[in-house]
Amino acid sequence: MATFVARRGPGSRRVWQVLIRRRGHPQQTSTFDTKAQAEAWAATIESEMARGVFVSRNEAEATTLREALDRYLTEITPRKKSTTAACERDRVRILTQLPLAGRSLASIRGKDIATYVRDSEKRGRGANTIRLELALLSHLFNTARTAWGMEGLRNPVELIKGQRPRLPSGRDRRLESDEEVRLREAAQNENSQISAIITWAIETAMRRGEIAAMRWEHLDRKARVLLVPETKTGTPRRVPLSTAALGILDTLPRRLEGKVWGIRPDSISQAFERVCKAAGIEGLTFHDLRHEATSRLFEKGLNPMQVAAITGHKTLQMLKRYTHLRAEDLVGMLG
């Protein structure tokens, strides 16, 4: 039988402590704000014990979300590639500051996650930012259940699938009119390196991080191919190089540490912003050049599988998000 005891909790408010003793099972105890919550919990535990399906929640009830996040950061995050791990550490830092972080894992319900989503949206946080944080939380709960011995723990993130923020439509920004000419002129005035990087991005459709990580030993000059050993999707790929791309490499000095550019990803974005401002171009990001390059590959007549081999997209759906063909450019293909 369950025993219910009223006690004084934080701030002198009354809370209800539940104690369950049953032969053949470890003692179970938990604390709730109301007696109704305590009775509901006790009924669930006793029913599971009677049916022989009970799994102890003691560890999940004794572990706060903040403690679980710290453990996740220590055990799980280091296994991921450096760029992903860096972003994940930032997300963990944000999540540990939430009021929810002080709650036990077992006490967190779907409604708590839904409240976090609504509050984040009200504060103007981006849909994709929230989505990535939810993905981290979901993986944490699944890891706690499967690898940390908390088999009785439910994943509350899975309960709000219909209430997650809707992602905005993919960007479809491409270079317009004389923007490419203006962009190249302004880039050359900024410095020759960012000018070369812009041309390289348009010729290869490589991501910003992949460009920054390029090394000379990954270049097969004879085969006209560059190896990208670490990618966003986790699958290495070999990028075929155009004559223009090879021409860019021929103008670059060899750096002692082996890197092609010697520039960080964030520095590329900052330099690109300065170039766009100098060129009077609005609404264009460095990542938009990947969209531009992908679209140009299709305009050259390559089929989807060929383009995906170059860009590294794993699904045709994702490839479609990066492809923005102009109707005007398709007219000549219709005959």
- Whether residues 9 and 142 share a domain: the answer is no
- Please count the helices (runs of H) and the strands (runs of E) in the chain: 15, 6
Annotated catalytic residue, options 103, 109, 224, 232: 232
Convert the pLDDT of each residue in 26-65 to its tens digit.
Answer: 777 778 888 898 898 889 888 888 877 666 666 777 789 9
pLDDT at 241: 95
Q: Where residue 75 sits, what CATH number does that domain have?
A: 1.10.150
- Whether residues 46 and 105 share a domain: the answer is no
Answer yes or no: 287 catalytic: yes
Percent of the chain with pLDDT over 90: 51
- Whether residues 248 and 306 share a domain: the answer is yes
- Whether residues 236 and 257 share a domain: the answer is yes
pLDDT at 211: 95
Contact call for residues 286 and 212 (beta carbons, < 8 A): no
Phi-psi region of 275 (alpha: psi -120 to 50; beta: other; left: phi over 0): alpha
Mean pLDDT of the chain: 87
- Whether residues 192 and 326 share a domain: the answer is yes
Answer yes or no: 207 catalytic: yes
How far apart (Å, rounded) are the C-alpha atoms in residues 175 and 293?
Answer: 10
pLDDT at 194: 95
Annotated catalytic residue, options 57, 145, 208, 290: 290
- Whether residues 68 and 47 share a domain: the answer is no
Torsion on CA atoms 79, 81, 83, 84, rounded to nearest 10 = -60
pLDDT at 331: 61
How far apart (Å, rounded) are the C-alpha atoms in residues 239 and 205?
Answer: 9
pLDDT at 261: 94
63 versus 323: the higher-pLDDT residue is: 63
Answer yes or no: 72 catalytic: no
User: How many Cα atoms occupy the beta-carbon half-sphere of 217 within 13 Å?
Assistant: 4
- Whether residues 185 and 314 share a domain: the answer is yes
Annotated catalytic residue, options 125, 173, 287, 324: 287
Structure tokens belonging to residue 152: 């009785």
- Whether residues 128 and 233 share a domain: the answer is no
pLDDT at 327: 67
User: How many Cα atoms occupy the beta-carbon half-sphere of 115 within 13 Å?
Assistant: 8
Give the pLDDT band (50/70/90) at residue 328.
low
What phi, psi does 295 have (nearest 5°)? Answer: -65, -40
Give the pLDDT band (50/70/90) at residue 333.
low
Number of C-beta neighbours around residue 323 at 10 A = 21
Annotated catalytic residue, options 57, 145, 207, 208: 207
- Whether residues 207 and 316 share a domain: the answer is yes
Task: Kindly report the pTM of this predicted structure.
Answer: 0.61
Structural domain including 27 reads 2-54
pLDDT at 220: 95
For residue 258, the one-letter residue type is G
Q: Which residues are CB-neighbours of 208 under 8 A, at least 6 positions away?
A: 201, 265, 268, 269, 286, 287
Contact call for residues 228 and 206 (beta carbons, < 8 A): yes
* Chosen domain end from 130, 163, 196: 163
53 versus 205: the higher-pLDDT residue is: 205
Task: Scan for tokens 């060899």, then name that residue.
Answer: 254
Helix axes 65-75, 127-146, angle to 10 degrees: 80
Annotated catalytic residue, options 57, 237, 291, 313: 313
Residue 172 lies in a domain: no
Q: How many domains does the chain have?
A: 3
pLDDT at 335: 57
Torsion on CA atoms 220, 225, 230, 234, rounded to nearest 10 = -140
Q: What stretches of 139-253 adopt beta strand conformation (E)?
A: 219-220, 225-228, 237-240
Convert the pLDDT of each residue in 140-191 to its tens digit.
Answer: 999 998 998 787 788 999 988 877 887 666 678 899 989 999 999 999 998 8
Convert the pLDDT of each residue in 114-127 to its tens digit.
Answer: 999 999 999 988 88
- Whether residues 103 and 31 share a domain: the answer is no
